[in-house]
Chains A and B, each alone.
Chain A
Amino acid sequence: MAKQKKLKSARRPGPGQYVLGFLLFLYTAFCAAPIILTIIAAFTSDKELKSTGYTYFPHEWSMEGMNAVLKYGQQLRMSYMVTIGVTVGGTFIGLFVMSMYAYAISRRDFRLRQFLVIYLLIPMLFQGGQLSAYMIFTRSYNMKDNIMLLILPICVTTMNVIILRTYIANSIPEELMEAAKIDGAGEYRTFFQITLPLMKPTLAAVGFMMATGYWNDWQNAFLYIDSPNKKPLQLLLINIQKSIDTLLNNKNIPAAALQEMANGVPQQSATMATVLVVVGPVVIAYPFFQKYFIKGMTVGSVKG
């Protein structure tokens, strides 16, 4: 890396570099534009959105969209709790069980590992498909409307186990584990006190990718979840029209007042405000994890 810098800075950047920079800037703007529009629309007055449409330069700013989302936000708070619970729970359960599995199949003197490797690979080659999964989960397991269906079906994936296994095999010196064993540590202790702490970089990378997957997963919720108190954010977003009603469906408010409020709900800006509230946390968290996450992708691409 240092060598690369030296070579390139030896020359002064020519005009080509500025053209390249401009093109890259255009693409960056293309990537950022929709997100900027979302932010602006969430704070544009609903009247303006309804009459003249979406714009980057609204005449009238307003907090009404955001207020509507926050004020009637009992469902929103509930959904936030569900999404956070599923994301944190799923990521930790997944990382825990997958790293144990990865450790087991990385032990060369463990004869059962060949079977376990094949057992791990088959689901990548052959799946039952959506219909089969739906039928088995709802009919055989009777798990319709069960929040575990948001967590378990996607918490162990072949690719992630392979990434963790590769990291253990390539980046953690076997001697460390040997030494621990000689010092009298059992197999559990060796894993939990020596290997697992050393896996931090890859756990961060895989964990972040998993967390994003959980945060953005809408399909399982869409298929299986009915009760409002188990609805994650993405499902709230999908049912947005219904959701605005649900937000208003506060039993403590008399029907007449509710009707009046419903008319006053800034639908368009509230929708964009909801989008912002749902998407925001991941987008804000990502730059902090970027380092790990790029490393994780790189490590995963090299098979051990």
Chain B
Amino acid sequence: MNRFSDFWKNTWKHRAFVVMALPAFLILLLFAYFPMGGLVLAFKKFDPLMGIFKSPWVGIENFKFLFASAGTFKRMTLNTLMYYGIFTALGTVLNVVLAIAIDQFVFKRVGKVMQTIMIIPVFVSYAAVQFILTAYIGSSTGMIAGRLMHDAIPFYRSPQYWPLILTIVKMWNSVGYGSVLYMSVLAGIDMSLYEAADIDGANKWQQIRYITIPSLVPMITVMLLLSVGNVMRADTGIFYQVTRNTGILYDTTQVIDSYILNALKTSPNFGFTAAATFFQSVVGLIMMLFANFMVKKISPENALF
């Protein structure tokens, strides 16, 4: 009883903080918490006339449907995982390589200008990227597809090339930006370590191998583990916009998020889509908890909670 009245007294004393926290609290409530309620649709047969909460319950009917439609569901889940794997693995390697390269470059001013240019692509929206990509690989007028290859490969009708194309686009977009984080770690390395290595006769490669890379490992581990939490989510910009939502390419380009977006824009197969959304949210939660658990073990100060 006493603890409660203490708590209320404390809260009343600091009512100004309550007022300050209130606007963000309400925005989160309306735009993050209440939408979670929409997940009940996964267990309902949606009837537009009755609305979300009055539609009849159907138990796990939608999930049976989801897992039975092996083709679509399996394809988009595998694609989601595949792109997560490629983007994360290659992205991390390139981020680190680029960070080390810029850090080692002695012409600092030139390096700075180059870095500025390398970061620019992250500010080009994918809605714009799709047009730029077409200028390269569009049929007949595209610079690479049309002028150089004389339409030998119809890119927009050949799904097998898209994992490569999307990977190039993604790396173009994100590597310069991603390396900034690692550069900030490199800037923090104690210079006397390098000096000592220098005196001991270690060459540049040895210094990178034994000083630079080990000092990046904690940050790499944390970033990798945190990204595990988003394994089921993909940037719809790249999979929906850059591919121009082309049906022929779905085999290698459709991920869960772009499937859902497409369903929302066309004719939503509510049961299926709702079940997929629910699946995505729950797997996301599990992976996030797992990731945080791992970070806590390895480097507690970087854990989220």
Contacts and interface: CB of A to CB of B under 8 A. Distances in A.
A194 to B, nearest CB: 14
A261 interface: no
A135 B24 contact: no
A126 B285 contact: yes
Interface stretch (A15-23, A59-67, A249-257): A15-23
B105 A17 contact: yes
A184 interface: no
Contact of A109 (B7, B10, B106): B10
A4 B190 CA distance: 9
B119 interface: yes
Interface string B1-42: 000001100110010111011011101101111111111010
Chain A, interface SS category: helix
A6 to B, nearest CB: 9
B126 interface: yes
Interface string A95-117: 01110110111010111110011
Given A31-B120, A132-B38, A54 B125 contact: no
A107 B20 CA distance: 12
A141 B27 CA distance: 13
A9 B304 CA distance: 40
A126 B284 contact: yes
B114 A28 contact: yes
A156 B30 CA distance: 11
Contact of B104 (A20, A34, A111, A301): A20
B211 interface: no
B23 to A, nearest CB: 4
A272 B132 CA distance: 8
Size category of the binding interface on chain A: 35 or more
B184 interface: yes
B105 A20 contact: yes
Contact of B236 (A96, A140, A219): A219
A130 B264 CA distance: 9
B118 A28 contact: yes
A135 B53 CA distance: 11
B277 A104 contact: no
Interface stretch (B84-92, B134-142, B155-163): B134-142
B146 interface: yes
B127 A283 contact: no
A304 to B, nearest CB: 10
A41 B236 contact: no
B123 A8 contact: no
Interface string A13-49: 1001100110111011011101101100100000001
Given A27-B98, A131-B38, A290-B119, A121 B304 contact: yes
Contacts of B289: 125
B120 A134 contact: no
Contact of A136 (B14, B37, B127, B187): B37
A264 interface: no
Given A38-B135, A155-B27, A24 B20 contact: no
Interface in A237-290: 237-238, 240, 268, 271-272, 275, 278-279, 282-283, 286-287, 290
Contact of B191 (A3, A50, A156, A271): A3
B154 interface: no
B140 A53 contact: yes
A193 interface: no
Given A31-B176, A53-B140, A188-B16, 4 more contacts: A35-B132, A104-B20, A136-B38, A278-B125
17 contacts: A20-B101, A21-B107, A21-B110, A27-B118, A34-B129, A34-B172, A35-B120, A35-B121, A37-B143, A110-B14, A128-B37, A130-B260, A186-B16, A188-B20, A216-B123, A237-B128, A298-B181
